[in-house]
């Protein structure tokens, strides 16, 4: 029972921090074709992906909702008062990022920006790590069919492939019914305060950022934290090894944890 209450407290804190916004009654009438519903962890590159999808689908009558740090089961709980089946043309996007790169960016950002705020609300660093790793795992399990909380079709997006491959982006564009362009591809999105590591240094040349190698430049203390966290929460590492293609350097890093 104590663990359940602790998890509930953490989920409430995550909800408080990100202020999930659902369609208002007015928007439900304004957008009868439905919505874009995008779920991802914070620091997973979701604002970058959203900006590109919005650029491709600018003519579509759908409002875009970005749900950060919400697990698929939590999403369905939040929408239990709205019959999503009444909006069959809504497009659901589940998105994730390479575990080592995501966790590297997440640690740097949260140590810098949200640590004090978290502590002020009685949420410790270990708790923050746990709930975010659990959320990464939950999203990936839904993406790969291990769970089916959404019980509806969705589009899976891998941030790393999206960033690196034009063909991958074009395929995602087709699936959302868009018209492919690269109008915002090189922009650093203002939402999320830019890049965790680079800020807005690479504005206009976002393709030059080393987002696929964030784990390489982690200070030793951060690498130690990562190793300890993944040992304590092995499910995330198990999912990572099962569904992601690792470089030799990534595999060596994990072997040395």
Q: Distance between CA atoms of 212 and 102, rounded to whole angstroms?
A: 9
Residue 133: what pLDDT? 94
pLDDT: which is higher, 146 or 115: 146
How crowded is residue 16: how many other Cβ atoms within 10 Å of its Cβ? Answer: 10
Burial of 41 (0-12, 13-18, 19+ CB in 10 A): buried
Average pLDDT over residues 154-164: 96
User: Residue 179: its pLDDT value, please?
Assistant: 97
pLDDT score of 18 more than 60: no
pLDDT band at 15 (very low <50, low <70, confident <90, very high): low
User: What is the overall mean pLDDT for the chain?
Assistant: 83
User: pLDDT digits over 21-67, tens only?
Assistant: 678 888 888 998 889 999 999 889 998 999 999 999 999 989 898 88
Domains (range + CATH), the chain: 2-255 (3.40.50)
Structure confidence at residue 5 as a pLDDT band (50, 70, 90): very low
Q: Closest Cα partner for 143 from 97, 78, 84? A: 97
Residue of 1 and 103 predicted with greater confidence: 103
Residue 19 pLDDT: 46
Cβ atoms of residues 222 and 230 within 8 Å = no
pLDDT digits (tens, 9 = 90+) for 89-142: 999 999 999 999 999 999 888 776 555 555 555 667 788 888 899 999 999 999
pLDDT value at position 3?
46
Spatial contact of 47 and 192, defined as CB atoms under 8 Å apart: yes
Q: In angstroms, what CA-CA distances link 223 with 196, 218, 219, 256?
A: 17, 6, 6, 11
Contacts of 35 (CB under 8 A, 6+ apart): 23, 62, 63, 64, 65, 87, 90, 91
Total count of residues recorded for the chain: 257
State pLDDT tens for residues 170-200: 999 999 999 999 988 767 565 555 455 554 5
pLDDT of 1 strictly over 50: no
Q: pLDDT tens for residues 231-253?
A: 999 999 999 999 999 999 999 99
* Best CA proximity match to 106, nearest among 257, 229, 241: 229
Would you state the pLDDT for residue 189? 62
pLDDT at 240: 97
Residue that wins the pLDDT comparison between 116 and 164: 164
Looking at residue 13, its pLDDT comes to 53
Q: Rounded to two decimals, what is the model's pTM?
A: 0.86
């Amino acid at each position: 029972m104590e663990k359940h209450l602790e998890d509930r407290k953490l989920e409430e804190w995550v909800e408080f921090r990100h202020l999930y916004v659902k369609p208002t009654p007015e928007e439900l009438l304004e957008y009868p074709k439905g919505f874009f519903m995008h779920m991802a962890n914070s620091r997973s590159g979701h604002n970058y992906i959203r900006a590109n999808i919005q650029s491709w689908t600018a003519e579509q009558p759908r409002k875009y909702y970005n749900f950060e740090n919400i697990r698929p089961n939590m999403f369905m709980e939040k929408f239990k008062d709205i019959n999503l089946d009444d909006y069959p043309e809504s497009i659901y996007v589940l998105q994730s990022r390479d575990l080592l790169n995501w966790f590297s960016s997440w640690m740097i950002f949260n140590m810098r920006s949200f640590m004090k705020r978290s502590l002020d609300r009685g949420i410790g660093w270990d708790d923050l790590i746990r709930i975010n790793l659990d959320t990464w795992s939950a999203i990936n399990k839904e993406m790969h069919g291990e769970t089916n909380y959404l019980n509806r079709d969705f589009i899976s997006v891998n941030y790393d492939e999206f960033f690196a491959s034009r063909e991958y982006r074009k395929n995602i564009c087709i699936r959302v019914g868009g018209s492919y362009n690269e109008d915002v591809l090189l922009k650093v999105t203002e939402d999320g305060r830019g890049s965790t590591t680079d800020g807005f240094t690479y504005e206009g040349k976002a393709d030059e950022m080393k987002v696929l190698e964030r784990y390489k430049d982690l200070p030793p203390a951060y690498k130690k934290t990562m190793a300890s966290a993944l040992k304590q929460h092995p499910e995330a590492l198990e999912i990572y090894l099962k569904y992601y293609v690792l470089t030799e350097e990534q595999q060596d890093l994990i072997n040395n944890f």
